[in-house]
Structure 1
Amino acid sequence: MENGGHNYEGLPRYPESYWLNSTERPNFEKLKEDAHFDVVIVGGGITGITTGYLLSEEGVNVAILEASKIMNGTTGHTTAKITAQHNVIYDELIHHFGETFAKNYYEANTKALEFIRQTVKKFQIDCQFEEKDAVLYGNTNKSVRKLEKEYEAYQKLNIPSEITDSLPFDVEVKRALIMKSQAQFHPTQYLSTLVDKFLTNGGKIFEETTAESILTESKTGRDTLVVDTRDGHTISCHKVLSCSHFPFYEGEGYYFMRMHPERSYVVAAKTDIETLPGMYLSVDSPSRSVRTVKINGETHLLLGGEGHKTGQGEPEMKHYEALKLFGQETFKVTEFPYRWSTQDLYTQDKVPYIGPVSANETNIFVATGYRKWGMSSSTVAAHILRDYVLEKDTPEMEVFSTERFHADPSLKHFFKENWNVTKQFIKGKLEFTRKRPEDIQPGEGDLVMINGNRCGAYREENGTLHCVDTTCKHMGCEVEWNSGDRTWDCPCHGSRYAYNGDVIEGPAKEGLRKVEPDEKLS
């Protein structure tokens, strides 16, 4: 529970991303009339912007629709590592899918890194781009075995690497695996240049424009698609690319059943360390991520981790507190000017879905399931989506195919995740509280009972009380209060709502129902 004052036990009172705070982004108008484009991209994050830029370079007439403001979502809340080292994954990929598959996965992400490197160089983008090694480390016998097997996989795939037993900061480590010549950067400053190039090439961006549905060719009777927006305006086009984190349109893909959402956390910490040679991630739980960044010309650390399934586990503020304690004990830091969190989606086999939304809808495409490795994965996706639009075939299309479904491990995870959803659904329906709306203090959110019904309440610092029905509008699960970010989060499929009930993140498309404190619910 949060209390009064500017800081919460040494942390900023409210979450704020350094990337967004330090970047002046242009404003774009809403879509105000019906329009036609060759391609409509839904989502103004790194995937949508990079794809739009690539297509505009090919002379394609493109519009980007963003429900809020560009870069506001996961892109603006990343740790911004650009790497093909996606935790411990290559031994698993070889085991389940073979060396060719694993090699293509690695090469696709390496090409993405090289594209970003060359783009920064080409346009002389001032975005703190720095080459760094990516390092996985562990301190248990189990993690040592994992890292040694992963190193063997690196050798099979000819990945430049080395293994060591030390790190350049004071943390216990038995083994560390280094992937050479990866990178880190300031993502929103990088994307600002791509936005400028996209606009120069004739592209259009519409903010505060929520895409709600698609009328397909079979329904329109034409060889076009029609994107409906919340304000009633439409855009007709030939292809739609869903780059909106969770697909705004699932068609027959049923992505909510094939992925699960997880949250993770970041605190920025002022440090006396001038630099670090790498970007670091522990393979033990709870995870710890470390990288440097310049804030106002001074070196800071971005300390991340504490991942958990959305809407589940202990109060979210505890995760920020754990990262603060890690910074104090490991790096002796005392100042934490920023904190933020993010959410990402995990596919059943840990490989993103990039391609046609379903086998029967080949002019609608999705890119999702980045598993917290969005800087490289999004750039991979942008190139694959561009090639689909241009009707090219590449080896990457098969690796990231939306139609793949392997019995091992996909089937096992499919049943596991959907059983977890069932448990969360039942748990929420049985949950009870004795709190009433009048018990909620300024700055506090919690579950309350209103005339015998489970509701949610949040009271602003000025005393304004917001009450909502806690039944998620996606599939009827009960949302939980997120104290760290002042949101209502669904533990079933990851929908998130602002404290007043407005949708922040799908798959839900409609906000929570507002409730009066004395309302009698049916």
Structure 2
Amino acid sequence: MVVVGAGITGLTTAALLARAGKRVVVLEARYVGAGATGNTTGKVSLLQGTKLSRIAAKHGDDVLRAYATGNKEGQDWLLRYCDEHGLDVQHQDAFSYAQSPDGVSTAEDELAAGRAAGLDVSWCADADVPFPYCGGVRLADQAQIDPVPLLQSLAAELESHGGSIICGARVHSVSGRGPVRVDVRVSTDDARRPRKVRIAAQRCILATGIPILDRGGFFARVKPERSYCLAFDVPGDVTRPMFLSVDSPTRSLRYAPSAGGDKLVVGGAGHTVGRADSPSRSIEELTRWTRLHYPGAVQTHFWSAQDYTPVDELPYVGPILPGSESIYVATGFDKWGMTNGIAAALALTSRILGGRMDWSAAFASWRTGELAGVPTALQANLEVGFNLAKGWVSPWLSRSELSDDGGAVSGPPWRMHADSVVDGVAHTTSPVCPHLGGVVRWNDADQAWECPLHGSRFAPDGELLEGPATRGLTPSAEKMSG
């Protein structure tokens, strides 16, 4: 069997299949943990912002309870695994809270949904925190982890059972119906000449954040979202429970133990991929907020992550097409992969090995309840169409100035080019995303090109960072403007 993607879903699925005696190879385009898992805040919580109330509004209590049950099984499995393998876990309460009086009703909706889901949630009118808090939902004894040691442990277990991981192996097509043919470009010393390999397997599991195959149209059923995290050294006490605001702007907090003392991790500044004018300005605002409420805070780390919000709020886990049992997908975790990713692995391995998990119907890749997401899907795809047109017209009508350590797209539609300068090094590529022809935009925080259609991202020189595109931007012969 072939698993594509070495994040929490891919490695857990591969390790479970290898335990069962299956021959498994994991193909990873970059390195273990390069995607969402390696950049998550690591919250292992069943209280997930406004997630439960959003599911309840579209699907009702039965589906809500099934979703919560799947997440609980994922959480239980992960915490058992960490205990058995000596991995650090911090057990803390989780809060979904209102920052202002306007957000209180949203938090109350989450309280009602949590109770309907069977969770032992309670209302806390006050909390001992230095930032604005107007009431919120509390769920005791949740957990947080560092995801990197977890991935390393899963990789080691997979290999101990005879499985293998190949990094620098980018899958660009999968064909056939069992055996399937997986076409891979494997990195070599000459980056311009990857080695092409074809692997035959009975089944292929796409655990790539968003499926890299267009079959099933999953790229149109999820919205790519980027968010940012900052770590701070804070004088005095660090807030220890996990907090996530239910109103805007998003504020996510947890603490992280380190050799030099506990750090405060603050997340937020999220946006749809490729559609923010200046992510760095939003990050500056997040930094000011932290220093206002934690005087003397000193930033030590910065990172970002990408995840995918499903149109009907539920993950998609299962066959890429109805009736197919040769290619599977797992996507739409909506920033809650620590529990959803494990649940997806349990559902996939159960299906492949002949087991049964009743709650997995709420995670199905094809389900009748998805009709609830049709209005959201229509709106999302209207936005895609608008951004497609805008990307082709805007560079022609207005000249974008290229700044130091920046990027800009310029030129008429028949001769557009994407120029960037990072650390004094200039690059010029085509700005046209090879997935469906969107025109990329510059992310000034990550210093990367982003497609505003379906979230493909590229390095300044055009190298592909993440899909659904399966190749990078085409090098351009255009000279740097200005």
Which of 184, 198, 206 is equivalent to 1:234?
198
Shift, 1:226, TM fit = 1.6
Shift, 1:396, TM fit = 2.6
Is 383-392 or 427-436 further displaced after alignment? 427-436
Partner of 2:449: 488
Shift, 1:407, TM fit = 6.2
Partner of 2:284: 321
User: Partners in 1 of 2:47 and 2:104 — Cα distance?
Assistant: 17
Matching residue's letter, 1:247: P
User: Partners in 2 of 1:107 and 1:398 — Cα distance?
Assistant: 11
User: Partners in 1 of 2:12 and 2:108 — Cα distance?
Assistant: 36
Matching residue's letter, 2:96: L
Matching residue's letter, 1:331: Y
Which of 455, 467, 472 is equivalent to 1:506?
467
Which of 63, 66, 74 is equivalent to 2:36?
74
**What secondary structure sits across from 2:292 in the alignment?**
helix
> Residue 450 of structure 1 contacts residue 517 of structure 1 at CA under 8 Å; is this kept in 2?
no
Partner of 2:332: 369
User: Partners in 2 of 1:395 and 1:273 — Cα distance?
Assistant: 47
- The CA deviation string for residues 465-509 of structure 1, in whole angstroms up to 9 with x for no partner, is 211111111111111011111111011111111101111111111
Shift, 1:408, TM fit = 5.3
**What secondary structure sits across from 1:91 in the alignment?**
helix
Partner of 2:45: 83
- The CA deviation string for residues 61-111 of structure 1, in whole angstroms up to 9 with x for no partner, is 111000011111111111110111122132333343232211111111112
Shift, 1:442, TM fit = 4.4
Is 78-87 or 225-234 further displaced after alignment? 225-234
Q: Structure 2 vs 1, CA of residues 91 and 317 (structure 1 numbering), >3 Å: closer, same or farther? A: closer
Partner of 1:7: none
Which of 164, 186, 206 is equivalent to 1:204?
164
Matched, 1:517 2:478: yes
Partner of 2:268: 305
Matched, 1:139 2:99: yes
- The CA deviation string for residues 105-159 of structure 1, in whole angstroms up to 9 with x for no partner, is 111111211111111111212x3x1111110111334421122122122233331
Which of 446, 457, 474 is equivalent to 2:408?
446
Matching residue's letter, 2:345: A
Which of 318, 338, 346 is equivalent to 1:383?
346
Matched, 1:159 2:138: no
User: Partners in 2 of 1:415 and 1:451 — Cα distance?
Assistant: 27
User: Partners in 1 of 2:360 and 2:118 — Cα distance?
Assistant: 22
Partner of 1:472: 433
**What secondary structure sits across from 2:458 in the alignment?**
strand
Partner of 1:249: 213
- The CA deviation string for residues 291-311 of structure 1, in whole angstroms up to 9 with x for no partner, is 000233311111001211111
Partner of 1:187: 147
Q: Which runs of 5+ in 1 are unaligned?
A: 1-38, 218-222
Is 51-60 or 410-419 further displaced after alignment? 51-60
Shift, 1:450, TM fit = 8.0
- The CA deviation string for residues 32-67 of structure 1, in whole angstroms up to 9 with x for no partner, is xxxxxxx11000111111111111111111110000
**What secondary structure sits across from 2:395 in the alignment?**
coil
| Identity between Structure 1 and Structure 2 (%) | 27
User: Partners in 2 of 1:153 and 1:460 — Cα distance?
Assistant: 47
Equivalent residues in 2 for 1:69-148, closer than 5 Å:
69-125=31-87, 127=88, 129-148=89-108
User: Partners in 2 of 1:416 and 1:452 — Cα distance?
Assistant: 29
User: Partners in 2 of 1:54 and 1:97 — Cα distance?
Assistant: 31
Partner of 2:312: 349
Matching residue's letter, 2:133: V
Q: Structure 2 vs 1, CA of residues 150 and 192 (structure 1 numbering), >3 Å: closer, same or farther? A: same
User: Partners in 2 of 1:279 and 1:495 — Cα distance?
Assistant: 30
Matching residue's letter, 2:36: T
User: Partners in 1 of 2:130 and 2:297 — Cα distance?
Assistant: 16
User: Partners in 1 of 2:403 and 2:104 — Cα distance?
Assistant: 47
> Residue 166 of structure 1 contacts residue 174 of structure 1 at CA under 8 Å; is this kept in 2?
yes
User: Partners in 2 of 1:284 and 1:77 — Cα distance?
Assistant: 23
- The CA deviation string for residues 309-331 of structure 1, in whole angstroms up to 9 with x for no partner, is 11112311112212211110111
**What secondary structure sits across from 2:383 in the alignment?**
helix
Which of 156, 170, 173 is equivalent to 1:213?
173
User: Partners in 2 of 1:325 and 1:277 — Cα distance?
Assistant: 20
Q: Structure 2 vs 1, CA of residues 74 and 364 (structure 1 numbering), >3 Å: closer, same or farther? A: same
Shift, 1:259, TM fit = 1.1
> Residue 272 of structure 1 contacts residue 299 of structure 1 at CA under 8 Å; is this kept in 2?
no
Q: Structure 2 vs 1, CA of residues 519 and 175 (structure 1 numbering), >3 Å: closer, same or farther? A: closer
Partner of 2:418: 456
Q: Structure 2 vs 1, CA of residues 429 and 405 (structure 1 numbering), >3 Å: closer, same or farther? A: farther
TM-score normalised by L of structure 1: 0.86
- The CA deviation string for residues 375-424 of structure 1, in whole angstroms up to 9 with x for no partner, is 11111111111112102221132111111253653111111001101111
Which of 378, 401, 404 is equivalent to 1:415?
378
Partner of 1:265: 228
Q: Structure 2 vs 1, CA of residues 113 and 407 (structure 1 numbering), >3 Å: closer, same or farther? A: closer
User: Partners in 2 of 1:449 and 1:415 — Cα distance?
Assistant: 31
TM-score normalised by L of structure 2: 0.93
Q: Structure 2 vs 1, CA of residues 388 and 407 (structure 1 numbering), >3 Å: closer, same or farther? A: closer
For these two proteins, the number of residue pairs brought into alignment is: 471
Which of 396, 403, 406 is equivalent to 2:369?
406
Shift, 1:334, TM fit = 3.4
RMSD: 2.0
User: Partners in 2 of 1:441 and 1:415 — Cα distance?
Assistant: 37
Q: Structure 2 vs 1, CA of residues 420 and 201 (structure 1 numbering), >3 Å: closer, same or farther? A: same
User: Partners in 1 of 2:115 and 2:207 — Cα distance?
Assistant: 34
Q: Structure 2 vs 1, CA of residues 454 and 167 (structure 1 numbering), >3 Å: closer, same or farther? A: farther
> Residue 70 of structure 2 contacts residue 360 of structure 2 at CA under 8 Å; is this kept in 1?
no
- The CA deviation string for residues 154-197 of structure 1, in whole angstroms up to 9 with x for no partner, is 23333112111222221222211011211001110122112111
Is 476-485 or 406-415 further displaced after alignment? 406-415
User: Partners in 2 of 1:40 and 1:509 — Cα distance?
Assistant: 17
Matched, 1:60 2:60: no
User: Partners in 1 of 2:70 and 2:35 — Cα distance?
Assistant: 24
Is 53-62 or 91-100 further displaced after alignment? 91-100
**What secondary structure sits across from 1:432 in the alignment?**
helix
**What secondary structure sits across from 2:308 in the alignment?**
strand
User: Partners in 1 of 2:110 and 2:200 — Cα distance?
Assistant: 47
**What secondary structure sits across from 2:32 in the alignment?**
coil
Q: Structure 2 vs 1, CA of residues 82 and 519 (structure 1 numbering), >3 Å: closer, same or farther? A: closer
